[in-house]
Structure formats: C-alpha cells, structure tokens
Amino acid sequence: MRGPHNIWRLIRTGATLERTGAMDVVLEAFRAPPRLRILAHVVGWPFKWLGLKGDPDLPPATRALTALGPAYIKFGQILSTRPDVVGEELAQQLKYLQDRLPPFSTDVAKAMIAAELELPVDQIFSEFSEPVAAASIAQVHRARIAETGEEVAVKVLRPNIERAFRKDIDAFYLIARTIEIVAPASRRLRPMEVIAHFEGVVMGELDLRLESSAAAEFAANTEKDEGFRVPKPIWFLSGKTVMTLGWAEGFGMNDNAAIDAAGLDRKVLAARVLSLFLNHALRDGYFHADMHQGNLKVGADGAIIAYDFGIMGRIDEYTRRVYAEILMGFIRKDYRRVAEVHFEAGYVPADRDIDEFARALRAVGEPIFGMDASRISMARLLAYLFDVTERFGMETRTDLILLQRTMVVVEGVARSLDPHMNIWQVARPVVESYVAKNIGPAALLRDLAQTARILSRFGPKLPRLVEAALIAQADRPKVLVKVRRSRWYLIPAAFVIFAAGIGLGTFL
C-alpha cells in the first residue's frame, strides 16, 4: 500500500547505503556537490544500524542494491551500461547485477514448473540443470525436452517476486510525491507518471505469458535481420511463471575477453548493436527495451542473440517519423529543423523562442561530431540536456521513456565494445534509409491511401449519416435553408472519397 509507512522503507534505503559503504561510491560516481554529500551522511549515519547488511563478499554498491530488492537491482542494471556516466569502477561493480545474482533452489524451481505445467519436471525434461543465470526477476535453467531431445532454456520467476516489487514501487511513489512537494519545479518531469509507467512495465514483466508473446512477435519482425537471432518460445511449455525458449549458445556481451579470443571484431559488433536497435525502433516500431549486456549474447559466427523479452517498447508511426527527423537533423547539423520538429510535435511549449532552442541544440550536437567517443563526457552532456529541458519548459514524455532509456543503454553497450565509436556515423545509414521510405512524396501517397481506405469502410453508411445530420438540423428551422445550401455537397463528396479510397488503395 502507498502511504507514509513507506518512510520506513526510505530510511532503510539510506541506512543500507551507509552501512554497506555504497553511499560514498554512489555520491562520487554522480559527482555530487559537497553540500549534498554532507547532507546525505548526516541523514544516513544516525540510522546506519537499521540498514541491511547484504553480502559482505560483494562490492559496496552491488551489496546494497541486492539487499534492497528487485526494483533497485533494475536501476543498477541500467547504470551498469554507462561507465561514462557513473564511472568505470561503479559500472564494473554493477555488472554483477546483470545475470549473476544469487539463485534460488532448483527444487523450488522444479516445484513451480510442475505446478504451472501440471506435469512432473522429470516427465517433461530428460535433462534439467542447476541455474545457469540468475537476475532480479527470474533465473534460467538449461534443459532438454524428453519427447523431442531439443535443448532449451527454461526461465522461472523468483518466488514472491511480485510482492517484493510492489513494496519497492510503493516506496518510489512516496519519493516521487515528496519531490513534487519539496521541489515544485520538478513537476514538469512528471515523477509520479514516470513511476506509474515503470510500475506498468514491471508488472507486465511478471507475467511470462506476455513475455512469450513478445518473443514470438519480435522473432517474426527480425527474422530477416542479418547477424541477429531471437530464440523462439515453446508455447506448450510456457505459462505465467515459466517460459521455455530454444537454447542460444554464445558469449556474454559483457565478456570482451571471450569475444576477442573468438576472433570477433568488437567494432563491428558495436555498430551492429546500435544499428539493429534503430532499425527495430524505426522500421518496426517495436524494440527490445532492456538491452543491457546481460540480455545479449554473441554467437560463434558473430551474430547477436537477444533474450529476456519482459520489457519491450512500442512507438506509433507518427512518433517514429518525429524521432527520425530529429536524428536526421542532428546528423545533417540542421539544428533549426531539429528545433522545428520539437515545436511541431508539441515537445516544447509554443511560447518559447525557436531560435534560442536551436542554438541550445547546437551545443548538444557539435561536441559529438568528429570527436573520439572516449573523449566525450556523457555525464556532462546529460547534465546539459537536463538544463535545456528545464530552460525551455519541456515536460517528460512518458510514452518516450522506454525509447530514450533504451537509446542510452544501447549506446553504453556499444561503447563498452568500441570506446571510440561515433553514434552519429553509425546511425546515419539507418536513419537515412527510414527517412527516404517514410518521409516524402511516397509516404504522403501511402498515408492518403490509408486514410481513403479507412473512409471507404464507411462508404455505405455515409448517405445515411448525412441524411441524419440534415434531419437533425431540420429541428432548427431558422437555419434549415442555410444548412441545406451549405451541406448539399456532402453526399457526392462521400461517394468521391469512397471511390478514391478503392482506386488509390488498389493502385498502391
């Protein structure tokens, strides 16, 4: 339940950070100013004894987050992909959270599988391993189907995971509400809506039937993508708490040593990760929204293998075009056009100065072009972007949170493979291809055809609808003649639209 009782949860969070030694690590990683560091210690130190002890064998930050629970682990996974934001030391600590968390008992996992599939595990699988990977929400076992001999990965939710997540999310709601009250200026960031969005995403991740559906759709969309594979779900061995996929053999994307030993080119892999994400987002409007290294493998042939489809993102055609135009504007250094697109889409209030906004965007884009990525401070860049959004009154777009977050994560993954990669050079061919196909005369004709087809479905009803409108107007005799004169064209116009829809739809 949400409410003041969550204050205890927040106190314990600070106390745990203090007790495990993670407080200094986190404050240093985010370059917190001296006053904030002093305040954090003053607030956290008196309650240090209330903090969770965690696993003393783990580094401080990892120790604290694993002790605090799954929602905190999720945030840690995201930060683990951004050493340029949180520092190399903290990022290395947090990589542990991607797939090496403490597993739960195999006997418990077997009992959950038997209850979900209503058959004993030994009858379903001829082989069933100990956990091969364990993350915040579930763990994975390697198995072999008794009937077919096919090797598979069996994903099982952690026991009582939904209750644990709800406790964490309730505390986050309190944090968000407190921030809105204490700092009214933060309301443009919509902290409550952001947490609500996070809650919806996570709750969906706790139903593996939805993840199986996502895996099937994603596999179908990307079937022809060269150098990319998605294991397909095995539906009759999947349910709410259990999901079975084809086994995917490969190196962890976070194991650069293994990738190098296999003779694979990390620069090629880095470019492929970013290009694939952009293709999925722009071409399909459906993308993997949790693409940290723990959810990616590299096959012996260099193909990227994705798994864990609990968090997927979807964006509509209009938003894709806006996103592509913004990227294309940056690539062409046309900052005026980038600014115009922001205003046209309503991302920036109309009363702001478009030229000033374009100048601010130039300060974002110019330092990146032609510069070695290893010399770019993403932390400073993100800080400046935050200043820009505040200055121009830009509100958080909850429909774009997954897209924006995943872009940051994917770029972090790519840069971990190739620290010198320039994202604009890699993005250019993908964005240009999308723009050529979806923004211009051909796209306009397709849009008109689609509109006409939709209208044509109502063709048989249009005369009746027009007649009903005229009869309704007849109840107002003073304007009846005017209405009849002004709307006589509706009936022939309806049939023109109907015919145009059929003709244009057939032609295209």
The lowest-confidence range among 58-67, 137-146, 325-334, 464-473 is 464-473
Report yes or no on 302 lying in a domain: yes
For residues 204 and 454, the model is more confident at 204
**Could you tell me if 202 and 79 lie in one domain?**
no
290 given a catalytic annotation: yes
Instruction: Read off φ and ψ for residue 305, nearest 5 degrees.
Output: -115, 120
Q: At residue 197, does pLDDT exceed 90?
A: no
Provide the mean pLDDT of the chain.
80
Q: Label the pairing between strands 228-229 and 251-252.
A: unpaired
pTM of the entire structure? Answer: 0.73
pLDDT in tens, 391-414: 787 776 766 777 877 887 888 888
Q: Taking residues 358-380, report their average pLDDT.
A: 70
Domains: count for the chain: 4
pLDDT at 134: 85
**What's the pLDDT score for residue 145?**
96
Q: How far apart are CA 5 and CA 172, in angstroms?
A: 12
- Beta strands of 101-150 (E only): which ranges? 125-134, 138-145
Note whether 264 and 385 are same-domain residues: yes
Q: Are the CB atoms for 294 and 254 separated by under 8 Å? A: yes
pLDDT tens for 239-259 read 999 999 999 889 888 889 999
**Looking at 290, 372, 399, 475, which residue is catalytic?**
290
State residue 229's pLDDT score.
Answer: 94
* Residues in the chain, overall count: 508
Structure token digits, residue 89: 């030391």
Whether residue 179 sits in one domain with residue 88: no
Do residue 365 and residue 395 come from a single domain?
yes
- Given 99, 114, 148, the domain boundary residue is 99
Per residue in 306-335, pLDDT tens? 988 988 989 888 888 888 888 888 888 899
Q: What are phi and psi of 206, to 5 degrees?
A: -90, 5
Higher pLDDT, 101 or 449: 101
Summarize pLDDT for 327-357 with one digit per residue, the tens: 888 888 899 998 998 898 888 888 899 999 9
Judgement on whether residues 411 and 469 belong to the same structural domain of the protein:
no
Does residue 1 lie in a domain region?
no
Of all residues in the chain, the percent with pLDDT exceeding 90 is: 28
Domain that holds residue 426: 249-439
Indicate whether 419 and 281 sit together in one domain.
yes
pLDDT at site 70? 81
Q: Of the given ranges (13-27, 100-114, 221-235, 310-324), which has the lowest mean pLDDT?
A: 13-27
Is the same domain home to 151 and 286? no
Residue 399: left (phi > 0), alpha (psi -120 to 50), or beta? alpha
Parallel, antiparallel or unpaired: strands 228-229 and 242-246: unpaired
pLDDT range class, residue 185, cuts 50, 70, 90: low
Q: What average pLDDT does range 171-189 have in this prediction?
A: 72
**pLDDT digit string (tens) for 270-282?**
999 999 999 999 9
pLDDT of residue 503: 41
In a domain, 49, yes or no: yes
Residue 448 counted as domain residue:
yes
Q: pLDDT > 70: what percent of the chain?
A: 78
Q: Phi then psi for 32, rounded to 5 degrees?
A: -65, 140
Residues 346 and 477 in one domain: no
Instruction: Please check whether residues 275 and 285 belong to one and the same domain.
Output: yes
pLDDT at 183: 67
Whether 253 and 130 share a structural domain? no
Containing H/E element for 296? strand 296-298
pLDDT given at position 232: 92
Same domain, 477 and 381: no
Predicted pLDDT of residue 483 = 41
What is the pLDDT averaged over residues 444-473? 71
Whether 415 is in a domain gets the answer yes
> Would you say residue 337 lies in a domain?
yes
Are 433 and 495 contained in the same domain?
A: no
Q: Establish if 79 belongs to a structural domain.
A: yes
pLDDT, position 494: 40
Cα 506 to Cα 145, 154, 317, 480, 500: the distances in Å are 48, 47, 22, 39, 10
